[in-house]
Chain A
Amino acid sequence: EAGVAQSPRYKIIEKRQSVAFWCNPISGHATLYWYQQILGQGPKLLIQFQNNGVVDDSQLPKDRFSAERLKGVDSTLKIQPAKLEDSAMYLCASSPPPRTNRAYGYTFGSGTRLTVV
């Protein structure tokens, strides 16, 4: 099966500019996640979608970050305006919903490396 698609792979922007990332999950995966991974740290959840609804966005900096998942398939994450501390890898992941209390592991896309200068 095709994996999680993300674009672009790399992006360099100046602070205060805006940037958008795109993700297309594995076909049939209802759950989509956006993670931020700062160098040397583990991934941190930004937002979780179930179909086209938001399940958890408690760690999303809503003053500058926004995300949408129209039609319950692909998703876009936007940062406006960007700050230097937003430099990180942005990872999209998807998973099928768990049938029991045991979760399936995520499948991550290749990620977008963002550098804010």
Chain B
Amino acid sequence: ETGVTQTPRHLVMGMTNKKSLKCEQHLGHNAMYWYKQSAKKPLELMFVYNFKEQTENNSVPSRFSPECPNSSHLFLHLHTLQPEDSALYLCASSQLAPRGPGELFFGEGSRLTVL
């Protein structure tokens, strides 16, 4: 138990579906992140929220839409995805420190399959 909970753990969707991934952190952190993990590739940073404000959008296609209603919750809304978007989506939180992001606490991930 890392203090970061992701739901659902597994999701299968068609290319025309709309779905959302949810992340909740119980650690009192001030930053939350979405990462994409594909086989044999580095974790790709998608979005960063710092005190609920989006501070990074790493050239992510608009079919991925993040939402951070408060410092404890983070959503990733999915719409008209492509098969190449199939991956493990990891949410993380951290307490930002003067010298950097500090330790990232990850959830267990949401395994997404796009048919």
User: Are A and B associated in one complex?
Assistant: no
- Residues of B whose CB lies within 8 Å of any CB of A are none
